[in-house]
Amino acid sequence: MGAKERQYSILEWVREQEHVEVEDIARRFGVTTQTIRRDINRLCEQGLLRRRYGGVSLPTSASKSPLGDSKVRNLLAKQQIARRVAADIPENATVSLGVGSSIELVAQALIHHQSLRILTNNLSVASALSGNPGIEVIVSGGQYRHNDHDVVGPEVTNFFSSFITDYGIISTGSMDLNHGLMDYDIREAEVSRAIISNTRARLLVADRSKWTLNSHCKVASFKYVDRFYTDLIPANKRTELPDSVDIIECGEAEPVFDKQNPLSVSNL
């Protein structure tokens, strides 16, 4: 396990337990306490953790992500996809992030970047990135949706139309070979279209379950997707997608964590 992945796991563990001892972290990952202290120093420098009573805790201002209080469909697959997307985003990039739980997971996976500019209408994204001062977050105005913790409306589409970003990352409510990307709310579809129209690289994050769902608001055909990040794509779907779409399957690419790890498959 590399340092970045270990630091991400430490951060997630502390978010679950609220306080973790340095020696316990070292035992869990099979490394020295000196190595763990270097990881902790890095996370504390970014404002993501604070040292306390022989271990580490969350900063006083930190709060658990809304995802932690809800049941997210196919969480493990979405986390794997999010980590792969984050690994492909270079430092100093400008990134548009849209709506949905998959996008919030991408934001969480981006937390270790040192220098990014994020444009979003998703307040959960802003919250997930709030602990890292090296990431500039610009949030759109608009009509607040209580259940989704985001804003929608013409202010949002005008906001995204005011920039050209390096990467535009969207999710989708469902997928269809004939009609492409679909959403359940026309306002969500408008947000995704605005991101697609105002970015240099269009990234879709969607797990395989989206092929089996059914929504009715058109977003865009697959010809407007540059990279498609998914856990697994059925062979009959792959052959029908445009050759211009770079398909990146993430389901088998991630390491299997030890069973003692609270973030292992058995605990998700």
Tokens for 248, please give them: 């990146």
In the structure, what pLDDT confidence band is assigned to residue 60 with cuts at 50, 70 and 90? low
H or E element at residue 36:
helix 33-45
Of 9, 83, 108, which Cα lies nearest the Cα of 254? 83
Tokens for 50, please give them: 């604070």
180, β-bridge pairs: 176
Stretch 209-225: mean pLDDT, rounded?
94
Answer whether residue 203 shows pLDDT above 90: yes
Residue with tokens 């129209």: 197
In the structure, what pLDDT confidence band is assigned to residue 10 with cuts at 50, 70 and 90? confident
Instruction: Give 175-191 as a DSSP string.
Output: EETTTEEEESSHHHHHH
**What pLDDT, on a 0 to 100 scale, did the predictor assign at position 58?**
77
**What pLDDT, on a 0 to 100 scale, did the predictor assign at position 146?**
85
Hey, is 180 helix, strand or coil? strand
Answer whether residue 267 shows pLDDT above 70: no
CA distances 255 to 72, 83, 144, 194, 252, Å, are 21, 12, 38, 35, 8
CA distances 223 to 85, 179, 219, Å, are 20, 11, 12
Stretch 81-100: mean pLDDT, rounded?
96
Tokens for 234, please give them: 């059925």
**pLDDT above 70 covers what percent of the chain?**
87
CA–CA distance, 224 with 51 (Å, rounded to integer): 46
Evaluate whether 157 touches 86 at the Cβ level (below 8 Å). Answer: no
Please state which of the ranges 94-103, 223-232, 247-256 shows the lowest mean pLDDT. Answer: 247-256
Of 101, 1, 102, 259, which Cα lies nearest the Cα of 267? 259
Hey, is 169 helix, strand or coil? strand
167, β-bridge pairs: 95, 201
